[in-house]
C-alpha cells in the first residue's frame, strides 16, 4: 500500500507532506515526515518557532497628549501579553525578531527546537480617543437652568476609545503570509455624567475653569485632526472623561485585543509530526495512516488536512481526513488527490 501511495503521489521515500487544516473555521498547517519504507518508526515532533515583529503605525496626529505614555509603552505591552498568552502552549517556542535564538522561559528552552519558524507581524494601525454622537430627548426637569430656551432634543458627543491591530503570520521558509486579519475594537469611556456645552453653539455657558481643564484639550486635538473630531461641531453637549481613567482603559483594551488574537494565531500555526504506521484501508479501499499528533495539540475527528508540497513551491497535492483521534495520536484517510 505504501508503494502504491508513492506511485499515486509520485514521491520518493523521503518526500515530505505539508497539510493545511480547515475545520470549524480552524486553519493551520501540519508537516508530516517522509513515508518510510517500513513505516514503523516515528520521527520526533518538532517545536514551532515563533518570532514577533511588532510596530506602532498609528498616526501621531491622532495621539492625545494625555495618552502619550500609553503609546510609548504600547509595543512592550503587546509583546508582554503575547508571551504570557503563549506560555501554556507547549508546541510553540518564542524567539527573538531574527528567529535565531530562543528567548522563552527557561523551562521551555530545554526542548529541541527543530520545527518550522514563523514570524508574527503585529501592526498597531489605530488607537485613539474619539467621540460618537447620539440623539437625546429631554424632559423639562432635565433642562439646564442656564438654558435661554427649552431644548427638547439634543445631540450629545460621547467619548470612545477606538483601536485596530493588523496581524500577519508569515512562513520563514516560503516567505508567504499563511494567515492575516484586522482586529478592531472600541469601548465607551466612563464620563460619570460630566459634560460641557459646545462652545461654538452656546458661548458663555461653560465656566472658565471647565474651558481650561476640559474644552481646551478637546479643541487642541480637533485643530490637529479636524476630520476625526468633526462630529463635535454637530453636538450640543461634549461629555468628558477623566485623563487617568482614559489611560487605564486604553491599557486594558489593548491587552484584551492582543489576547483575543492568540487563539486565532494558535489555530493557524503549523503542527509538526510524522507518520507512525500504515493502518490498512477504509471501506472504500483508501489508505489510512496513523499520525503522532492528537487532541492535545488540536487535532479533531473529521478535520480535513489539505496536502501541500514542502519548500517554497508549496503546490497542493490532495487532502486527507481524520477519522479517529486520541490524546497523542490520530488516524487519517486519503480523501482526494
DSSP 61-107: GG--GGGHHHHHHHHHHHHHHHHHHHTT-TTEEEE-TTSSSB-S-HH
pLDDT of res. 38: 29
State how far the Cα of 267 lies from the Cα of 181, in Å rounded to an integer.
13
Is residue 133 within 8 Å of residue 234, measured between CB atoms? yes
> Strands across the sheet with 316-325, in order?
270-273, 26-32, 17-23, 304-309, 316-325, 330-336, 287-291, 275-281
Q: How far apart are CA 31 and CA 20, in angstroms?
A: 9
Query: Distance between CA atoms of 332 and 307, rounded to whole angstroms?
Result: 12
| Domain 2-43+284-336 bears CATH identifier 2.40.10 | yes
At 2 the pLDDT is 43
| Segments in the chain forming alpha helices (H) | 2-9, 68-86, 106-109, 208-210, 216-224, 243-268
Distances (CA, A) of 10 to 72, 210, 236, 291, 318: 55, 77, 73, 21, 12
> Any bridge partners for residue 151, and if so which?
none
Supply angle C-alpha 83, 84, 87, rounded to 5: 80
3-class secondary structure, 158? strand
Cα–Cα dist 135/231, whole Å: 12
What b/e sequence results for 158-189 when a residue is b if at least 16 CB atoms lie within 10 Å of its CB, and e otherwise? Answer: bbebbbbbbbebbbeebeeebbeeebeeeeeb
Do 332 and 322 touch, CB atoms closer than 8 A?
yes
Question: Which cell numbers hold the place of 81?
Answer: 501579553
**Domain spans, the chain:** 2-43+284-336, 49-268
The kind and range of the H/E element at 129 are strand 117-137
Contact 296, 328 (CB under 8 A): yes
Burial zone of 20 (CB within 10 Å; 0-12 exposed, 13-18 middle, 19+ buried) = buried
Tens digit of each residue's pLDDT (9 = 90 or more) over 225-268: 888 788 899 999 999 999 999 999 999 999 999 999 999 998 88
pLDDT at 37: 31
Q: How far apart are CA 316 and CA 6, in angstroms?
A: 16
d(CA 79, CA 47): 20
DSSP one-letter code for 190: P
Q: What is the pLDDT of residue 294?
A: 84
The overall average pLDDT reported for the chain is 78
> In Å, how far are 15, 23, 227, 279 from 175, measured between CA atoms?
21, 25, 38, 35
Question: What confidence score (pLDDT) does residue 29 get?
Answer: 40
Phi, psi of 15 (to 5 degrees): -65, 145
**What DSSP assignment string belongs to 24-44?**
TTEEEEEEE----SS---PPP
Q: Which residues of the chain have pLDDT under 50?
A: 1-18, 20-45, 98-113, 148
Contact 217/66 with Cβ under 8 angstroms?
Answer: yes
pLDDT at residue 310, rounded to an integer = 60
Amino acid at each position: 500500500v505504501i508503494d502504491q501511495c508513492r506511485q499515486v503521489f509520485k514521491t520518493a521515500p523521503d518526500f515530505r507532506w505539508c497539510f493545511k487544516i480547515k475545520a470549524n473555521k480552524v486553519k493551520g498547517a501540519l508537516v508530516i515526515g517522509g513515508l518510510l519504507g517500513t513505516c514503523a518508526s516515528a520521527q520526533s515532533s518538532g517545536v514551532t518557532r515563533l518570532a514577533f515583529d511588532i510596530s506602532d503605525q498609528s498616526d501621531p496626529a491622532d495621539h492625545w497628549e494625555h495618552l502619550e505614555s500609553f503609546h510609548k509603552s504600547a509595543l512592550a505591552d503587546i509583546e508582554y501579553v503575547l508571551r504570557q498568552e503563549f506560555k501554556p502552549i507547549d508546541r510553540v517556542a518564542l524567539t527573538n525578531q531574527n528567529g535565531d535564538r530562543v528567548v522563552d522561559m527557561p523551562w521551555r528552552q530545554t526542548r529541541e527546537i527543530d520545527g518550522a519558524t514563523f514570524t508574527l507581524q503585529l501592526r498597531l494601525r489605530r488607537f485613539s480617543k474619539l467621540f460618537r454622537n447620539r440623539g437625546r430627548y429631554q424632559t423639562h426637569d432635565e433642562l439646564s437652568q442656564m438654558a435661554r430656551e427649552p431644548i427638547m432634543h439634543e445631540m450629545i458627543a460621547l467619548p470612545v476609545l477606538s483601536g485596530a491591530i493588523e496581524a500577519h503570520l508569515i512562513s520563514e521558509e516560503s516567505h508567504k503570509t499563511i494567515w492575516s486579519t484586522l482586529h478592531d475594537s472600541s469601548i465607551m469611556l466612563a464620563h460619570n455624567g460630566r459634560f460641557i456645552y459646545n462652545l461654538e453653539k452656546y458661548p458663555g455657558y461653560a465656566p472658565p475653569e471647565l474651558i481650561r481643564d476640559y474644552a481646551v484639550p478637546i479643541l487642541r486635538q480637533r485643530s490637529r485632526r479636524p476630520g476625526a473630531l468633526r462630529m463635535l461641531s454637530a453636538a450640543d453637549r461634549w461629555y468628558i472623561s477623566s485623563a487617568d481613567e482614559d489611560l487605564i482603559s486604553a491599557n486594558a483594551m489593548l491587552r484584551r485585543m492582543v489576547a483575543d488574537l492568540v487563539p486565532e494565531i494558535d489555530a493557524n500555526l503549523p503542527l509538526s509530526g510524522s507518520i507512525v504506521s500504515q493502518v490498512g484501508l477504509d471501506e472504500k479501499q483508501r489508505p489510512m495512516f496513523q499520525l503522532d499528533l492528537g487532541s492535545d495539540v488540536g487535532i479533531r475527528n473529521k478535520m480535513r488536512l489539505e496536502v501541500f508540497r514542502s519548500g517554497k513551491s508549496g503546490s497542493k497535492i490532495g487532502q486527507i481526513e481524520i477519522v479517529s483521534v486520541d490524546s497523542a495520536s490520530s488516524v487519517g484517510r486519503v480523501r482526494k488527490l
